[in-house]
Amino acid sequence: MIMEEKGKSRLRWGGVLAAITLWLIAAGIGAQGEKPADKSQERPDVLMIDTLKAFGDLEKPRVVFLHDLHTDALEKKGKDCSACHLREDKSGKIPGAENLEDAVKGIDKLSPKFKRLKDTARQDVMDVYHKFCIECHTDMSSAGDKAGPVTCGGCHQKNPVKSSRQEMGLDKSLHFRHIKANDKKCEKCHHEYNEKEKKLVYVKEKEADCRFCHKKETEEKRISMRLASHIACVDCHRQILAKKNPDEKAGPVKCAGCHDLIKQKAIEKVAEVPRLERKQPDTVLVKTSVTEVDSKTYKMPPVAYDHKAHEGYNDTCRVCHHASMDACSKCHTLSGSKDGQFVNLEKSMHLASSNKACIGCHLKKQETQKCAGCHSFITKTKMKETSCKACHVKVPGEPEITPKTDTAPLAKAVLDARQAIITTYPDEDIPEKVVIKDLVKQYEAAEFPHRKVIQTLVKNISENKLAGYFHTDQGMICQGCHHNSPISKKPPKCANCHGKPFDEKSLYAPGMTGAYHQQCMGCHEAMGLKKPAGCTGCHKER
């Protein structure tokens, strides 16, 4: 019986080993036919040609196309973009890009498609690529120049070059440079589709982010963001370059010029950017939509928001406005809506995990060195009532808010009355030093400069308005170390919570030695302090 069981066991293991061996052999055979991707080769101009997907499944792998590589090769031959991209047709329109007809009027537009104006049939598109690509490569090779492949496997490869492409957008500085260059003619870029007139129109002071209409993929009556930006932006830059005016600067026309991280960082910055002229409000009363709920039914008072100040804090309006410049409550309703991706108004303001939410953005500010020493140890999972009241302040007089109420003056009244005060207890109530004797067996007792540390923390955030709104209590600064005790002039000693030694029944409360080292050294690391260093930086040897 025992021998029988052993035999079955051997058979089972033999089957497993055989399966593993066959898998390894198959993997080895598969690997022989493919070259590993070169991870060191990264480019911002990697395009994947998979146009035939529109007609069904691809028969071969997508083609990896390095756009700037081809542009540079054409420049050496005295050729430009028109060598691959055809100009607009006789009607003055680019098929697939009709919505940009008025927006880029007067610009020498090129079709974004290769050697064609529109996609007709699968075979036609395939023939265009095969004819012109192979023909160009063959001609260059015959002339003795370095040329691309002419075989199927040379273009259709499974291991593409890794893309290092970075998203591009206009921050305040770059946006202002375009405003100045175009003499405040915003209509050159901004437009919206008028359904009644069936054309693009410009509506002054209603300019929105391009991404509000132009999504990631092309939709009915609107092309993708990629196509819109390349047709409008690149062609405009080309037009300026064609003038050859040394006094007129043109933007990039190659992929790397916009999508390479190093080149993005090198873009010229305007030191003082004037405020955007769009008749936007200085102050806003953030509230639910008056069409959804009566103002008297608010669970919390509305929030007075300093819109003008936040414009100065950020590089782009997209930090808060994802695309549309409308009020938050238009998309983020009380119950959530499709336009707001079903994120309701409360979550859109309070999500700690989102940098676009108020609380998420404020928590991100706590990661700066001057704040991280305390906030890296303070739990972020539970908001205190005092934190809520820092933003939710009652409007003086508590007026009834109707759809016709001008809420800007109400928000201004709240903001004017608010004070950003950072304070702590008087020096005489703060112990100058605290002697820590927990390691006296190995070292001398450590002297903690208690009052000096408190004063330094207060000084670090003294000019931080955001901190001022949340540190109004005299004992708030003490919470950085006394993190789980109530705010008090005389908080309990560390030993009241941290045992000596570690108590296995309190997994989240390390022993005294661990607590001190975690708190002190963690704070120094978070704030970038190099001293004290090593054990003897705090403890004198016996």
- Three-class SS state of 147: coil
Identify whether residues 191 and 102 lie together within a single domain: yes
Q: Please answer whether residues 241 and 80 qualify as being in contact, where contact means their C-beta atoms are separated by less than 8 angstroms.
A: no
Identify whether residues 187 and 61 lie together within a single domain: yes
Identify whether residues 245 and 368 lie together within a single domain: no
Identify whether residues 412 and 431 lie together within a single domain: no
Identify whether residues 129 and 232 lie together within a single domain: yes
Token pair 């997994």: residue = 507
CATH code (residue 313): 3.90.10.10
Last residue of a domain, one of 229, 251, 272: 272
Is 320 within a domain?
yes
Identify whether residues 258 and 350 lie together within a single domain: no
Could you count the other beta carbons within 10 Å of the beta carbon of residue 94? 26
Is 29 within a domain?
no
- Three-class SS state of 447: strand
**Pairing status of strand 192-194 against strand 46-49:** unpaired
Identify whether residues 98 and 246 lie together within a single domain: yes
Could you count the other beta carbons within 10 Å of the beta carbon of residue 404? 6
Token pair 């420049």: residue = 75
Return per-residue pLDDT of the chain as tens, 542 residues: 444 444 444 444 444 444 444 444 344 433 434 444 454 578 999 999 999 999 999 999 999 999 999 999 999 999 999 999 998 754 544 444 444 444 444 445 788 899 998 898 999 999 999 999 999 999 999 999 999 999 998 999 877 788 999 999 999 999 999 999 999 999 999 998 888 888 889 999 888 888 888 988 888 778 899 999 998 899 899 989 988 888 888 999 999 999 999 999 999 999 999 999 889 999 999 887 655 544 455 578 889 999 999 999 999 998 898 878 888 888 888 888 888 889 998 899 999 888 889 999 999 999 999 999 888 877 655 556 678 888 998 888 888 888 788 999 999 999 999 888 888 999 999 999 999 887 777 888 889 999 999 999 999 999 899 999 988 888 989 988 888 888 889 998 888 888 877 777 777 788 888 888 888 999 999 999 888 888 888 888 87
Determine the pLDDT at residue 94: 43
Is 12 within a domain?
no
Last residue of a domain, one of 272, 302, 326: 272
Chain centre to alpha carbon of residue 118: 35
Is 6 within a domain?
no
Determine the pLDDT at residue 298: 58
Q: DSSP letter at 234?
A: I
Residue 535 and residue 147: Cα distance in Å, rounded? 64
Is 25 within a domain?
no
Domain count for the chain, please give it.
3
Contacts of 91 (CB under 8 A, 6+ apart): none
Token pair 């051997």: residue = 10
Is 15 within a domain?
no
Structural element, H or E, at residue 310: helix 307-313
Is 9 within a domain?
no
Last residue of a domain, one of 218, 244, 272: 272
Expressed as residue numbers, the domain containing 257 is 41-272
Identify whether residues 135 and 235 lie together within a single domain: yes
Residue 135 and residue 354: Cα distance in Å, rounded? 51
Is 278 within a domain?
no
Identify whether residues 460 and 521 lie together within a single domain: yes
Residue 490 and residue 478: Cα distance in Å, rounded? 10
- Three-class SS state of 348: helix
Determine the pLDDT at residue 33: 41
Identify whether residues 255 and 309 lie together within a single domain: no
List b or e across 322-351, with b for residues whose CB sees 16 or more CB atoms inside 10 angstroms. Answer: bbeeeebbebbbeebeeebeebbbeebbee
Identify whether residues 229 and 293 lie together within a single domain: no
Determine the pLDDT at residue 389: 85
Hey, what are 339's tokens? 């336009």
User: In whole angstroms, how far apart are CA 208 and each of 20, 186, 202, 326, 529?
Assistant: 58, 11, 11, 9, 44
Residue 129 and residue 116: Cα distance in Å, rounded? 10
Identify whether residues 253 and 157 lie together within a single domain: yes
Beta strand ranges found along 217-286 (DSSP E): 283-286
Determine the pLDDT at residue 509: 82
